[in-house]
Structure 1
Amino acid sequence: MEPTAATRCPGCTEAVSADDQFCEACGRFLHGASSTARPSAPHPGPGDGGGSAAASPGPEKEEKAASAPPPPADSTAWEWDLPSTVAYGPPSAAGGAVPEPEPKRAGAPCVECGAAEISEDGYCERCGVRQPSGREHLEIEIAGAAGVSDRGLRYRRNEDAMAVATAAGKVIAVVCDGVSSAPRPEEASKVAADTGAAMLVAQLTAGADPQTATRAALARAARAVTALADSPYDAPACTYVSVVVGDGTVTVGWAGDSRAYWISGGGGARPSTALTVDDSWAAQMVQRGLMTRAQAYADHRAHTVTAWLGADAGEVTPRAETFRPGGSGVVVVCSDGLWNYLPEAAELAEAVHGARSRCASGSPLEIARSLVRTALEAGGHDNVTVVLIPFPPGDAETPPARAEALVRGETGR
């Protein structure tokens, strides 16, 4: 029997029992709460990869669009309002940086019920609500890139992670998405993103070419996530995608279904396109000719990943491919919390062009915020992370910057 509104959590709409003290899905305290439920799309089952994202709303297009809609008439050569200095680390005398978030202080009361009894893993022992961790909403900006990561509307924590940096005149970004069916997915994604970015910086600074650096970084990140496992049966896991942008090229490496896209800005640039191919059940079915895209991505197994980082992933073969844009535009790196709602390059390009025209400055950070809002307004069924790198990029030199380097807005909803 379909649960009634009275037996749905008012926070995330998951089914609950009348005897439950709190919602098992989002941790919300249920006593005295309103029983009005928000409409929602079906929630995915266990085993989904990349944060167990919900299936895309509406039917998928059967074929990928050949190219994106033409950019606005004034975009023949995109110009970007980039920060002239890097905002990283503690506040400077100029006040241009924001400090990293501090962990919730010991003894702080529960944000839901005010109780002082908070467990070591961050849950209120009275009402069961998970306390803010500082990763619920993150924003990061350096001279050559900007990114936003958000918990979404249905998950109790943000299992995505991102890191950006510049080295040897190139801009680097890594986005990772924890696999929710594995233990400690948020730890896996953070370790992978930090390790991958640090290795990319080290390799490029030492003179390695982007493909060599990309393969070395992916392999090092895989080993770092593998080391988190207590046993093969208790193995944190995540997806991984990285980009190295500079010298007229974009080099990508990935495992899983987090994606990188090229969004054309005109001026002779190549058409907008996806730069990665999902390691997922749906992509496998399509590649083998067993299903159409619409059939495969409508299946409940669509987001089950076939490659990931983790002790139970088997041998990870580091891949790297290089793309030459041939003109101006932007590289978008994202988790499936965004591309679920804008899966085709043409759809994402339209959203990027539209956001750029609406935003006051048209900066990468404002566009990234707009894309995250698009996902949240469409349902926000998963964690959402997006990093934008204008092309051609700037030439700033910075240390790797984790997502925690800049935090704006509230950290708990």
Structure 2
Amino acid sequence: MSQIHQQTSLTNCPGCEEPLATGDLLCGACGYDLSAVPAPPDDRPAVAVPGPGGPAKWPAASEAGGGDLPAPAHRATDLPGTDSGGSPLPTTAPPVCRDDPGGASPGSDDFELAAPGAPGAPGPGSAAPAAGGKLCVACRSGRVDTDGYCENCGHAQPRERDHMEQELGSVAAVSDRGLRHHRNEDAFAVSGTALPDGSPAVVAIVCDGVSSASRPDEASAAAASTANESLLESLPRGTHPQQAMHEAIIAASEAVNALAGEPGRATEPDQPRHQNAPACTLVAAVMAGGLLVIGWVGDSRVYWVPDDRAVAPARLTEDDSWAAQMVAAGLMNKAEAYADERAHAITGWLGADAYELEPHTASFKPDRPGLVVVCTDGLWNYAEGAAEMAAVLPPDARERPLHAAQVLVGHALDGGGHDNVTVALLPFVVTPQGAAPPSSTD
């Protein structure tokens, strides 16, 4: 069947970024069909965060119904880069590694090329989709079948997770498939709730699927959703945020573990249930009652960037990775470790084949306003140091967090986009002097 093609006005191929000649109908490098270019997504859901209120006062862990926390305990410490200094972060990790080709360093060739795109609204004069169907982003006239292909031109349609954005009041998150992966295996959740005294609590969770595992996209989605639900259930009950974070990570781990035992989705009968089980990493931040609480398993990170750029920013997490262990043991310097092909082999993750789950949690009391950056290695590969991350952030990041998150994702894509990229930004406002809640161990 013959088709009429329109000439593309692009200078670079959307699929592989190779230069194009005027009038090209197909990319000579990857074969991308240039006759139609998908429109960018226009959906940016937004809901309101509960209004400001007085600081929360939490009971001790035992009073809140929780057990003892692993170190560090509930005591809040000052953030690195503040006037009063900071305290060391936990660096424990299980003595095993899992290869994560999804976190390969820039320059790796172990990726599948695919044309990026995102669903968009029909352009002027386009045919309307069939009742109950979706309109093809390529030919703009065919209906998309249940397998995700156009019944008219046969084009595979971009998936919903290829590019996701969400804005929740002053908090925002963006996730993108990147330029080399065939799907987005990251997931995020941002939400808000109210503490028992009516003051707001804001949550951001970012998960990175382990590409060497089966169904990593399902693992990250399950972990992000479950951890978010756990926090939204426990924080309004008055559970201390650090205890709530610990419980949320445990719940997320159980949700990912359960994927390995789903009927019809497990491994072969003669193989162990946990072999090549779905797996992901998790990093999360909660801002509540003057506290910043973080939790993580794996190599996704949290950065602290003060509003006063004269004050040094800081990374608040320590990677569960081969490279981090080599540096901590003094066997390699940082540059050598992260240049090694084993650098992104993780030593901690969520999944049925994890050697041992050791959630890391830490609590801080910032003494100044700033921005909390929660991200996967798809971003920090291109801005590894705290100062580098701060330099990429636009000056108005606190006022325009969604725009700032888009800028950070764009920075990773401009750098090569070798991995999925996900980032959440949480502006932190300091509570009035003397209003910050005491830690439960005081």
Q: Which TM class, normalised by the smaller chain length?
A: 0.5 to 0.7
Alignment length (residue pairs)? 309
Q: Give the Cα–Cα distance (whole angstroms) in 2 for the partners of residues 377 and 185 of structure 1.
A: 25
- List per-residue Cα deviations over 1:339-379 (Å, max 9, x = no partner): 00000001001111xx125x8x9411111111111111111
User: Which residue number in structure 2 is paired with residue 239 of structure 1?
Assistant: 281
1:325 Cα deviation (Å)? 2.1
Q: Percent same amino acid at aligned positions? A: 48
State the match for 2:105 in structure 1.
55
Task: Supply the AA of the counterpart residue of 2:15.
Answer: G
Letter in 1 for 2:102: S
1:143 to 169, 172, 179: 169
Partner secondary structure for residue 183 of structure 1 = coil
Is 1:11 aligned with 2:48?
Answer: no
Counterparts of 1:218-297 in structure 2, within 5 Å, are 218-229=249-260, 230=266, 231-266=273-308, 271-297=312-338
* CA contact 2:367–2:430 (8 Å) conserved in 1: no
1:304 aligns with 345
Q: Residue 151 and residue 10 in structure 1: after superposition, are their counterparts in 2 closer, same or farther (change >3 A)?
A: closer
**Secondary structure of 1:341's aligned partner:** coil
* TM-score where L is the length of structure 2: 0.63
Structure 1: distance between partners of 2:379 and 2:335? 18
Tell me if structure 2 keeps the 8 A contact 1:178–1:238. Answer: yes
2:190 maps to 1:164: yes
Q: How far did residue 155 of structure 1 move?
A: 1.2
Q: Does 1:202 align with 2:224?
A: no
Aligned CA distance change for structure 1 residues 343 and 128 (closer, same or farther; 3 Å): farther
Distance 2:138 2:372 in 1: 38
Q: CA RMSD in A?
A: 3.3
Q: CA deviation at 1:315?
A: 2.6
Q: Which runs of 5+ in 2 are unaligned?
A: 1-12, 19-24, 32-97, 109-131, 261-265, 267-272, 432-442
Q: Distance in 1 between matches of 2:329 and 2:248?
A: 30
| Alpha-carbon separation, structure 1, partners of 2:209 and 2:154 | 23
1:356 alignment partner, one of 395, 414, 431:
395
Q: What per-residue deviation string (whole Å, max 9, x for no partner) do you get for residues 290-345 of structure 1?
A: 11111110011111111111111133122211122210110000011110000000
Q: Give 3-state SS (helix, strand or coil) of 2:282's partner.
A: strand
Partner AA of 1:200 in structure 2? L
Comparing 305-314 with 211-220, which one deviates more in the overlay? Answer: 305-314
Inter-partner Cα distance in structure 1 for 2:150 and 2:318: 41
Closer, same or farther: CA 154–115 of 1 in aligned 2, 3 Å: farther
Alpha-carbon separation, structure 1, partners of 2:289 and 2:234: 16
The equivalent residue for 1:319 is 360
Distance 1:363 1:296, change over 3 A: same
The answer on whether the counterparts of 1:261 and 1:274 sit within 8 Å (CA) in structure 2 is yes
Question: Residues 129, 259 of structure 1: CA spacing in aligned structure 2 closer, same or farther, 3 A cutoff?
Answer: farther
Of 245, 262, 274, which aligns to 1:214? 245
Structure-1 residue corresponding to 2:405: 368
> What does 1:18-167 align with in structure 2 at a 5 Å threshold?
33-36=26-29, 48-49=99-100, 52-56=102-106, 120=147, 122=148, 131-167=157-193
Q: Select the structure of larger CA radius of gyration.
A: 2
Name the CA distance, whole Å, in 2 between partners of 1:112 and 1:57: 34
Query: Given the two structures, how large is their TM-score scaled by the length of structure 1?
Result: 0.67
**Distance verdict in 2 for CA 1:151–1:265, change over 3 Å:** same
Instruction: State how far apart, in whole Å, the 1-side matches of 2:144 and 2:236 are.
Output: 48
Shift of 1:165: 1.2
How far off its partner does 1:178 sit? 0.6
CA distance in 1, matches of 2:323, 2:305: 24
Post-superposition CA distance 1:220-253 (Å, at most 9, x none): 0000000001231241111100111132221111
Instruction: State whether residues 160 and 384 of structure 1, in contact with CA within 8 Å, keep that contact through their aligned partners in structure 2.
Output: yes
Letter matched to residue 27 of structure 2: S
Quote the Cα distance in structure 1 between the aligned partners of 2:294 and 2:149: 38
**Amino acid in the other structure paired with 1:290:** L
SS in 1 for 2:245: helix
What's the offset of the Cα at 1:265? 1.1
Aligned partner of 1:345 in structure 2 is 386
